[in-house]
Amino acid sequence: MADQSPPIVVIIAGPTAAGKSNVAARLCAQQKGMIVSADSVQAYRGVQIGANKPSLEERKETPHILIDVADHVENYNAAEWREDAIHCIQTLLGQSNPYQQEAIATTPAASSSRRAQIEEYIQQARIDKGYDCENEAKEKETILPVVCGGTMMYLQWLVHGKPDAMRPTPKAVEISYKTI
């Protein structure tokens, strides 16, 4: 039996304008990878100011996933981003999630539609980049997921999971609004 190394996922994090995207793009070019954006502003369609989204040319050169995936009026949060990011990573690594079929049954329609668009984007990017080759076992070649961005809460949730904190009670929420 061949010795299989565990899959690698690269995470590049840091402050604004530190050069994260350039490093990620160079790594993707060298290692056959795709960027999974961990930027909370870039996720929204129609939001351009303060987003520093890669141009269409940059996206063609290095595919960026999870950019423009939510409408600007949607409540797209860290929990949804985490689920989308895990889905992207598993798709790029050619892994199937044993809970995926169960999750699909309980996934809201907006999330299902978003995931379908994400999968379509990944598939098209594979074709455009020539990554859709199959090996002898007819399995898709794995792609290096490079998670890149400066939204530390997103990255914390991805690496460590959802926080264990209790939800505030309705009374606490009401009091906090009264003090504002």
Residue 102 has a pLDDT of 44
Longest dimension (CA), the chain: 65
CATH superfamily of this structure's domain 10-178? P-loop containing nucleotide triphosphate hydrolases (3.40.50.300)
**Residue 2 confidence class, pLDDT cut points 50, 70, 90:** low
When computed from its CA atoms, the radius of gyration of the chain, rounded to whole angstroms, is 18
Instruction: Evaluate if residue 179 carries a pLDDT over 70.
Output: no
Mean pLDDT of 35-48: 89
**What is the Cα–Cα distance from 22 to 45, expressed in whole angstroms?**
22
Query: What integer pLDDT is reported at residue 105 of this predicted model?
Result: 43
pLDDT over 60 (residue 123): yes
DSSP symbols for 27-77:
HHHHHTEEEEE--TTTTEET--TTT-PPPHHHHHHS-EESSS-EETTS---
More confident residue, 65 or 14: 65
**CA angle (66, 71, 77) in 5-degree steps:** 65
Place of tokens 């996934």: 107
Residue 6 has pLDDT above 50, yes or no: yes
Look at 137 and 85; give whichever has higher pLDDT.
85
Domain range summary for the chain, segments of one domain joined by +: 10-178
Q: Looking at residues 141-156, what average pLDDT do you find?
A: 92
* pTM for this predicted structure: 0.81
Taking only the tens place, the pLDDT of each residue in 42-80 is: 999 887 776 688 988 999 999 999 999 998 888 889 999
pLDDT at 151: 86
CA gap 177, 130 in Å, rounded: 53
CB 108 within 8 A of CB 84: no
- By DSSP bridging, strand 33-37 and strand 144-149 are parallel
pLDDT at 104 over 70: no
Higher pLDDT, 6 or 8: 8
The dihedral sign for the CA sequence 82, 84, 90, 92: negative
Residue 89, number of CB atoms within 10 A of its CB: 18
Neighbour count for residue 15 (Cβ, 10 Å): 8
Average pLDDT, the chain: 84
